[in-house]
Amino acid sequence: MVSVAIVYHSGYGHTAALAQSVAAGIASVPGAQAHLIPVEDAEANTAILDGADAIVFGSPTYMGSVTAKFKEFMEVSSKTWYVRGWADKLAAGFTVSAGQSGDKLNTLVQMAIFAAQHGMVWVGNDLLPGNSSSTGSVADLNRLSSYLGAMAQANSDQGSDVAPPQADRKTAEYLGKRVAEAAQRWARGRA
């Protein structure tokens, strides 16, 4: 049994919706368990985080990077960092903003750098680009063509009942499945 934690901050529900998609992807893998942890509850769930085989980070992109709330969590983790508590766990990330591209990549880079500081191993999104030819559409998996992690786009005037669209939720679900399978492989390979 592998355990995959999803730590996320959601301002308006869109990131929470994606987190649930990631969790569904994880849960679709026999022998993998998903733990959804809103960043506000992270400290209360230290044991789950420290015991996880993989941690998936989720945050909206606000003004070009992870939210202040999510950054607080990153900073609290410095105590764990110092004792190498998360070293060699797998890590992955996802983000959402209103723009199609926006500065979402900067958020994913910020997460990957953070994970590297912890000595974690980064699992990206291995989907080929979607919606990148004349036969593509906004319904494609990986419609924003992101690789370091999963990107989603939510219209600024729509609630999480409709935004981000299904394509982005399916992409997040795919990432969850991929991370769970990688976590199983990584766990099996332990010497």
Find the binding residues for its own copies in span 44-73 (CB under 8 A): 62-69, 71-72
Nearest to 122 by CA among 147, 103, 144: 147
Which range binds its own copies by CB under 8 A, 17-25, 50-58, 135-143, 166-174? 135-143
Q: Is 75 exposed, middle or buried (0-12, 13-18, 19+ CB in 10 A)?
A: exposed
We find the least distance from the C-beta atom of residue 55 to its own copies, in angstroms, to be 14
**Does residue 123 bind its own copies (CB under 8 A)?**
yes
Under DSSP, the state recorded for 180 is H
H or E element that contains 39: none
> Looking at beta carbons only, is 38 or 102 nearer to its own copies?
102
**Does residue 95 bind its own copies (CB under 8 A)?**
no
Given candidates 104, 169, 170, 177, which one binds its own copies under the rule CB under 8 A? Answer: 104
We find the least distance from the C-beta atom of residue 113 to its own copies, in angstroms, to be 4
The site that binds its own copies (CB under 8 A) totals a number of residues, namely 75
Under DSSP, the state recorded for 100 is S
Contacts of 68 (CB under 8 A, 6+ apart): 62
Which range binds its own copies by CB under 8 A, 25-33, 45-53, 103-111, 164-172? 103-111
Helices 14-27 and 166-188 pack at an angle, to 10 degrees, of 40
